[in-house]
């Protein structure tokens, strides 16, 4: 399938985007493809550290799945918006309602975004607004420069965790905890 030319008026759908892995990292915002830069080493290291802890917890508890790698999530349809989460957790209950092929079409309980040096807070907040509007319950924003994790329960309810704190959420991830400092120990 050829990519739509700029002269065509029809927005790109999530299904169109899914069939175009050759485009590389990107998101779909209101039917328009938005390229994303590859992540740096620190971003990848933090994603692997947090992801390993979440995957281990999810397997041990058998409550759901923890998945990483810029997971595509539909947050709006017609025109489609597909956001790419660095990592997410989704319960088996929600996962049972998804379409088996393509991007995730049910909201996960938790999304994790790890800031890159060129990320702007306005863009991050827009992405969080999309997640919450789609039904996501929590968003963790890892800010490497600040050596902090911002925990969002909504766009207006958040807290900041520093290196002396534990990252946990008993409501969504009972029994999970990770020292925030562990995320920033680049090896």
Contact 73, 97 (CB under 8 A): no
Alpha-carbon dihedral sign for residues 152, 105, 48, 41: negative
Residue 17 falls inside a structural domain: no
Residue 67 falls inside a structural domain: yes
Residue 117 falls inside a structural domain: yes
pLDDT over threshold 70, residue 4: no
pLDDT over threshold 90, residue 6: no
Residue 3 falls inside a structural domain: no
Residues 22-35: pLDDT tens digits?
888 877 898 888 88
pTM (2 decimals)?
0.88
**Peptide bond preceding 138 in cis form (omega within 30 of 0):** no
Residue 53 falls inside a structural domain: yes
User: Residue 104 is part of a domain; what is its CATH number?
Assistant: 3.90.1570.10
Predicted confidence at residue 138, as pLDDT, reads 98
The domain tally of the chain equals 1
Range of the domain at 147: 39-183
Residue 21 falls inside a structural domain: no
């Amino acid at each position: 399938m050829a990519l739509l030319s700029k002269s065509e008026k029809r927005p790109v759908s999530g299904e169109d985007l899914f069939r175009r892995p050759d485009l590389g990292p990107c998101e779909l915002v209101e039917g328009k493809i938005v390229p994303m830069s590859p992540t740096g080493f620190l971003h990848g290291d933090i994603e692997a550290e947090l992801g390993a802890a979440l995957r281990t917890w999810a397997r041990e508890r058998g409550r759901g799945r923890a998945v990483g790698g810029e997971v595509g999530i539909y947050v709006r349809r017609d025109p489609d918006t597909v956001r790419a989460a660095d990592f997410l957790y989704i319960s088996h209950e929600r996962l049972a309602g998804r379409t088996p092929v393509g991007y995730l079409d049910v909201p996960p309980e938790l999304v994790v975004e790890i800031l890159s040096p060129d990320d702007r807070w306005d863009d991050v907040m827009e992405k969080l607004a999309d997640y919450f509007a789609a039904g996501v319950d929590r968003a963790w924003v890892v800010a490497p420069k600040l050596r902090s994790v911002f925990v969002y329960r909504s766009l207006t309810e958040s807290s900041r965790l520093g290196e002396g704190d534990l990252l946990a959420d008993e409501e969504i991830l009972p029994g999970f905890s990770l020292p925030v400092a562990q995320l920033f120990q680049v090896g």
